[in-house]
Amino acid sequence: MNAIMKITAVVLITVTVAACGGAKEEKGQLGDLKVKLEKLKKDKSNLESDIRKIEEQIAKADPAAASQVRRLVAADTLRTTDFAHYIDLQGKIASNGIGYVAPKGQGGLIRAIYVSVGQRVGVGQLVLKLDDAIQRQQLAAAQQAVSQLRTRLAQSQTVYERHQNLWKQNIGAEINVINAKADVDAMAAQLKAAEAQVGQASEALDMTNVRTGISGVVEAVNVRVGESFSGATQQGGQIVIVNNSSLKVEVPVPDNYVAKVKKGDKVLVSVPETGKAPYASIISVVGASIDATTRSFLTEARLPSDPLLKPNQTAVMKILDYQAKAAIAIPVNTVQSDEKGKYVYVIEKSGDKLVARKKAVQVGEVYDGIIEIKSGLGGGDVLITEGYQSVYDGQAVTTGNNK
């Protein structure tokens, strides 16, 4: 038995070591492949550079033969344009006017619902009716008490007037007049209190009429007749209204942009589902603190009223953080590098032919595949946009339009 357990343990150790060795071997092979790829890329770049140098040497040694070979390229005449750089960040659409319908009081059982999902409602519009049996009884009792007190006040007033007339005729005692007046004042005070109770009972009855607090569209009706209504539950609002005329985009911005993003910055908000051009806006709110979990601060920008925009839609906010007027901007892939720096190829006229010329450039910002050229190019220069990888300085070229 001991022998069997020892053999099993040896097998398990062998399998574990083999598995670990296999994993390490796979990682080692992947690393070797990556190193090999980088070496091949470097060799390719060196070969292309050597080919260009040899082609240039051949062209200098035999200008007549070189002039007969024209490389086909595509080109574009450069013009000054406005260049802009944006910070692209994803956020969501929210509404300043999302509200839960709530009763004025404690709520109650629903007797009727007057709205449905998708219906547009206005401020103060009746949404549903709660059970009002008790409130109506209380109001009726208060009104009856007021009626009785008014009758008793009228009687007291009549008694007071009679005693006052008799006293003016020196009939009766003055105390009778005083007592009658006190009865009138007491009854008037009771009537006033009863009328206040009628007002309270009327207000309680009106609380069974649940109305909207904002204008908008009914987003959800999560309650039915006969159920209890309190306005909100743990799952959310029982009746939700959204005001789509007051929308905004909320975007968390990484804290490394804290010095670049500020209130009033211009933004473009893109919502792909609408199929519309980006909405132009400005940042209206910049958060005052950095979220400890996401390491970002919240920004907001207002959006126009549009039926295609809905709360919680995904949106991309492009924050303008750099712009240059009348700049030269070219496709970033046309810019190449060597040991001296960045350069491009342009077309210049040499006698009766077109030749490629290597031009050193100073570059600026890059956005959406376009790079700003700070110096080295100007309006009117003809940039080689296709075939630039296979030309050298001074090589004869053709765009297919010239002979």
The sheet that has 126-130: what strands, in order across it? Answer: 209-211, 126-130, 108-113, 228-229
210-248: string of b/e by CB count within 10 Å (b at 16+)?
Answer: bbbebbbbbbebebeeeeebebeeeeebbbbbbbbebbb
Per-domain residue ranges of the chain: 1-69, 70-81+325-398, 87-98+244-324, 102-129+210-233, 133-206
Spatial CB neighbours of 199, under 8 Å, sequence gap ≥ 6: none
The tokens describing 346, both together, are: 């342009």
Read off the pTM.
0.56
Assign 182 a pLDDT band (cuts: 50, 70, 90).
very high
Residues whose CB falls within 8 Å of the CB of residue 145, separated by 6 or more in sequence, listed in order? 194, 197
Asked whether 89 and 111 are in contact (CB, 8 A), the reply is no
Q: What is the CATH number of domain 70-81+325-398?
A: 2.40.420.20
Task: Write phi, then psi, for 163 (nearest 5 degrees).
Answer: -60, -35
Question: Tokens 């789509």 belong to which residue?
Answer: 244
CB atoms within 10 A of CB 201: 19
CATH number of 87-98+244-324: 2.40.30.170
- What three-state secondary structure class fits 55? helix
Q: Which amino acid is at 135?
A: Q
Compare 46 and 259 and report the one with higher pLDDT.
259
Percent of the chain with pLDDT over 70: 86
| Span 43-58, pLDDT tens digits | 766 675 666 667 666 6
Q: Give the tens place of pLDDT for each residue, 73-100.
A: 999 999 999 999 999 999 999 887 778 8
How many angstroms separate the CA atoms of 282 and 287, rounded?
15
**Amino acid identity at 310:** K
Q: In CATH terms, are 70-81+325-398 and 87-98+244-324 the same topology? A: no
Question: Does the domain formed by 133-206 have CATH 1.10.287?
Answer: yes
